[in-house]
Amino acid sequence: MVKLSKSEEQLMEYIWKAGRAFMKDLIDSFPDPKPANTTVATLLKRMTEKGVISYTQYGNSREYYPLIKKADYFSKHVNSMIRNYFDDSVLQFASFFTKETNLSKEQLEELKQIVDHQIESLGKRKKKK
């Protein structure tokens, strides 16, 4: 599983959002004060070496694009967190998440709807088999 630093994750967010982007566009995505070109170039090089992004060369310019999907990246990290911090128990994680994140009643209702929808979907898939 690839682990990105906080800075790499922030840059990766901009790449996921853009789909494809040149370094100048990525730097423009950062809030002020903007990072130095050399800093972003170093991050892009490390991320390319980690296999999470690649690029197409156009003369002296490189257009970067993601090699991994955002959902896949975060899914692996959430599953790892559940394994490492919650004894591989999704129920312990869900209990912690719902109690410790100060969700509003509306947010909990929305979460309940998501869970109910997922239960319904799993029921439909079982019937098709």
The angle subtended at Cα 58 by Cα 68 and Cα 33, nearest 5°, is 65
Pair 64, 54: CB distance under 8 Å: yes
Q: By CB neighbour count within 10 A (0-12 exposed, 13-18 middle, 19+ buried), where does 30 fall?
A: middle
Sheet with 53-58, side-by-side order of all strands = 21-22, 61-66, 53-58
Q: Please list the pLDDT of the chain residue by residue as tens digits (129 residues).
A: 788 999 999 999 999 999 999 999 999 999 999 999 999 999 999 999 999 999 999 999 999 999 999 998 888 888 888 888 888 888 888 888 888 888 889 998 998 898 888 888 888 776 665
Closest by CA position to 16, among listed 61, 56, 72: 72
| Distance separating alpha carbons of residues 95 and 98, to the nearest angstrom | 5
Domains for the chain: give ranges and CATH numbers.
6-66 (1.10.10.10), 89-128 (no CATH)
